[in-house]
Amino acid sequence: MTERLSDVTTGTNTSATGSDSTDDVNTRTETPEIADSRKTTEGTVYTVTGGDWDEVLADAVHDERIVMNLGPQHPSTHGVLRLVLELEGETVTHARSVIGYLHTGIEKNLEYRNWVQGVTFITRTDYLAPLHHEAAYCMSVEKLLGITVPDKAQAIRVLLMEINRISSHLVALATGGMELGALTGMTSGFREREEALHLLEHLTGLRMNHAFIRPGGLAQDLPADGIEKINAFVKIMEKRLPDYDKLLTGQPIWRNRLADVGYLPVDACLALGITGPILRSAGLAWDLRKIEPYSGYENYAFDVPTSNAADCFARYLLRLEEMHQSLKIIKQVVKTLPTGPVMVSDAKIAWPAQLTIGSDGMGNSLEHVRKIMGQSMESLIHHFKLVTEGFKVPSGQVYVPVESPRGELGYHVVSDGGTRPMRVHLREPSFINLQSMPAMCEGGMVADVIASVASIDPVMGGCDR
C-alpha cells in the first residue's frame, strides 16, 4: 500500500510478546513505512503510511480496539449523522452519535417572524413529515388564542397528516432497503412515495414544506377534484402495499438481516423516552391519536399495531401495517368530510383572509389582489398590517403533542403577548429516539449498526433544528 491511510485510534499499548510500550514504539519507529506514535485520551495513535495492510492488522491485534467514524457523509447513514464506533474485531463495544452538522437554527429564527410566518420555518424541520409539524405548531398557537378551528379544516388536517405518514414510512422502508442492499425495496418504496407526493402537491400546491396548515385553519379548501384524486391514491396503495409482503416480509435474507437485530425492550424505551414505532415494537400500544385524541381522531376507527419482538424486523412490520391503518383513516375522512369554511371567521386572525392561491401555488391570485385593492382604504390597510405585522397572541405558554411518523412530536410555545413567539421549543422524536442507538448497537456486529439506525428512522433536520 503506497497511499497514506487515515489515522487509526487504538486502545492499550501492550505488545503481543509482553514487551513494554517503549520497546514496542521503538520497534515501530525503525520501520520506515510507519510514522511515530502519539498518545491521546483514547489511547495510542499510529499513522499508517504504507506497507502490507495484512501485516499492519496482525501487528495491531494486541491493541485490542480501534475507533471508527461512520459519517457524517457515509452512504449508509441517514443524512448528516456521524457515528463514532469503538470496535473489537467486528463487535461494537462502544457507540456514540454526533449531531449538529445541519445547524438550521429554526427554533431561534421563529423568534424573529410573526406567528403565521413561523409555519414556513417549522415545516422544514422534519422534512419527511412537514404537515405534522405544521399541525402541532398551529394547534399550539390556536390554544394560546383560545379559538376553535372549523370542523372541515380539522378533517382535512387529519387527511393530510395520514397521507404524509404513508409517504414518510415509505421513505423509511426505501432508505432502509437501500442501506441493507435490498435495492428493489428502495425503488418500489420511492415509486409509491411519488404517488403520495403527487397527491399532496395537487391538494396543497407543493410536494414538501407545504405551509398549508395555518393558525386558524388552512390556506385554502381542497381543489374541486380533490376527493377524486384521494380515492385514486387509496386504490393504488391498497393494490401495491401487499406487494411488500411478497417482496420483503417473506424473504429469508431480509428477515435474517433484521430479526434479532437492534433489540430494545419496553423498559429501555421508557427509560430513554422513546416513542413511535420503536416503542410499539416493544409491545406498548402508545399512540397519541388514541391516548390523547386531537383534530377529531376519536371519530375514526383504526388499530394501533404492536409487537413483542422489539427488533428491526418488528419495526419494519409495524410501519407497513401503519400504512394500511392510515389508508383506513383516509377513507373514513373522505366519507364523512364536513362542509363549511376551512378558516376561522375572525378577520383579525384569518390570514391570509379568503386567500385564493395564484398560478405559482404560492402567492395571491390576481383576482384576490384586485378585490383587496378595490375595497376601502381601511380594508387595504388592515390587510397590509395583518400580512406584514401579524396578529397578537395572548401571553402564556402551552405544550401540544401529536403523533408523527417517528413518535411524539410536541411544541412548547411561549408568548409574551406580541406578534411573534417569545420562544418555541420542539420535542422532536428523531432527536429523542436517536438516544437508543448505543443500546441497540453495543455488543452487536458493526454491520448491524446500519440496520439499527435505519429502524430508528431519524431525520436530522429535526435533530438539528
Q: Cβ contacts of residue 75 below 8 Å, gap of 6+?
A: 179
pLDDT on residue 127: 86
Same domain, 184 and 94: no
Average pLDDT estimate for 33-60: 61
Confidence band (pLDDT; 50, 70, 90) for 294? very high
**Does residue 126 share a domain with residue 170?**
yes
For residue 6, pLDDT over 50 is answered with no
Is residue 137 domain-shared with residue 162, that is, in the same domain?
Answer: yes
114 in the same domain as 29: no
Q: Does residue 382 lie within any of the structural domains?
A: no
pLDDT-derived band at 270 (thresholds 50, 70, 90) equals very high
Would you state the pLDDT for residue 195? 92
Same domain, 58 and 145: no
In a domain, 459, yes or no: yes
Whether 214 maps to a domain, the answer reads yes
Domain match, 292 and 396 both: yes
| Residue partners of 151: CB distance under 8 A and separation at least 6 | 296, 338, 340
Which residues touch 418 (CB under 8 Å, ≥6 apart)?
Answer: 392, 393
Q: CB of 15 within 8 A of CB of 59?
A: no
Q: Which residues contact 360 (CB under 8 A, 6 or more apart)?
A: none
Q: Is residue 304 scored above 90 in pLDDT? A: yes
Name the residue type at position 46. Answer: Y
Q: For residues 4 and 142, which has the higher predicted lDDT (pLDDT)?
A: 142
Q: Report in angstroms the alpha-carbon separations of 465 from 99, 103, 126, 429.
A: 11, 7, 9, 12
> How many residues would you count in the chain?
465
Percent of the chain scoring above 90 in pLDDT: 42
Task: Give which of 207, 208, 218, 241 is closest to 158, Cα–Cα.
Answer: 218
- Cβ–Cβ under 8 Å, residues 126 and 430: yes
User: Measured on CA atoms in the order 3, 83, 193, 117, is the torsion positive or negative?
Assistant: negative
Whether residue 352 is predicted with pLDDT greater than 70 in this model: the reply is no
Mean pLDDT of 73-94: 79
Task: Choose the weakest-confidence range: 151-155, 182-186, 297-301.
Answer: 182-186
Residue 53 has pLDDT above 80, yes or no: no
Beta carbons within 8 Å of 160's beta carbon, 6+ residues apart = 131, 200, 203, 204, 210, 212, 213
Q: Which of the listed residues 79, 98, 117 is the one where a domain comes to its end?
A: 98
Q: How confident is the model at residue 5 (pLDDT cuts 50, 70, 90)?
A: very low
Q: End of a domain among 98, 114, 138?
A: 98
In a domain? residue 371: no
The three cell numbers of residue 185 are 425495496
How many CB atoms are located within 10 Å of the residue 225 CB? 10
Range name among 33-47, 334-348, 447-461 with the lowest pLDDT average? 33-47
Q: What are phi and psi of 285, to 5 degrees?
A: -80, 65
Handedness of CA 53, 56, 58, 62 (dihedral sign): negative
Query: DSSP per residue over 139-208, as a string?
Result: HHHHHHHT----HHHHHHHHHHHHHHHHHHHHHHHHHHHHHHT-HHHHHHHHHHHHHHHHHHHHHHS-SS
Residues 47, 125, single domain; the answer is no
Whether the Cβ atoms of residue 165 and residue 322 lie closer than 8 Å to each other: yes
CB 138 within 8 A of CB 411: no
pLDDT surpasses 70 at 299 = yes
What was the pLDDT predicted at 8? Answer: 38
The mean pLDDT of 25-48, rounded to a whole number, is 59
Q: Is the pLDDT of residue 385 over 90?
A: no
Number of folded domains in the chain? Answer: 2
Amino acid at 201: E
Residue 136: what pLDDT?
Answer: 94
Whether residue 113 sits in one domain with residue 87? no
The verdict on 423 and 456 lying in the same domain is: yes
The answer to whether residue 359 is domain-embedded is no
- Assign 252 to helix, strand or coil: helix
Does 193 share its domain with 265? yes
Which among 74, 98, 122 is the end of a domain? 98
Q: Does 57 score more than 70 pLDDT? A: no
Confidence band of 363 (pLDDT split at 50, 70, 90):
low
pLDDT band, residue 29 (cuts 50/70/90): very low
pLDDT above 80: residue 58: no
Residues 94, 120 within the same domain: no
Residue 364 has pLDDT above 70, yes or no: no
pLDDT at 359: 57
Residue 407 has pLDDT above 50, yes or no: yes
- Min mean pLDDT across 6-15, 239-248, 340-349 is at 6-15
The residues pairing with 66 across neighbouring beta strands, listed in sequence order, are 10, 87
Cβ contact 336:155 at 8 Å: yes
Exposed / middle / buried, residue 49 (Cβ in 10 Å: 0-12, 13-18, 19+): middle
Dihedral over alpha carbons 281, 235, 163, 304 (to 10 degrees): -30
Mean pLDDT, range 212-231, rounded to an integer: 90
* Position 346 pLDDT exceeds 90: no
What are the cell numbers at 2? 503506497
Question: For residue 178, is it within any domain?
Answer: yes
Average pLDDT over residues 237-248: 90
In the chain, the amino acid numbered 329 is: I
Of the pLDDT bands very low, low, confident and very high (cuts 50, 70, 90), residue 61 is low
pLDDT above 80 for 18: no
Q: Looking at the structure, do residues 341 and 400 belong to the same domain, yes or no? A: yes
For the cut 80, the answer to whether the pLDDT of residue 214 exceeds it is yes
* Host H or E run for residue 29: helix 21-29
Mean pLDDT of 274-296: 92
**Res 93: pLDDT:** 87
Task: Please report whether residue 116 resides in a domain.
Answer: yes
Mean pLDDT of 147-173: 93
In a domain, 385, yes or no: no
Domain extent for 262: 106-351+390-463
Mean pLDDT to the nearest integer, 307-333: 94
Helices (H) and strands (E) in the chain, counts: 19, 11
- In Å, the largest CA–CA distance within the chain is 94
Q: Within 10 Å of residue 292's Cβ, how many Cβ atoms?
A: 14
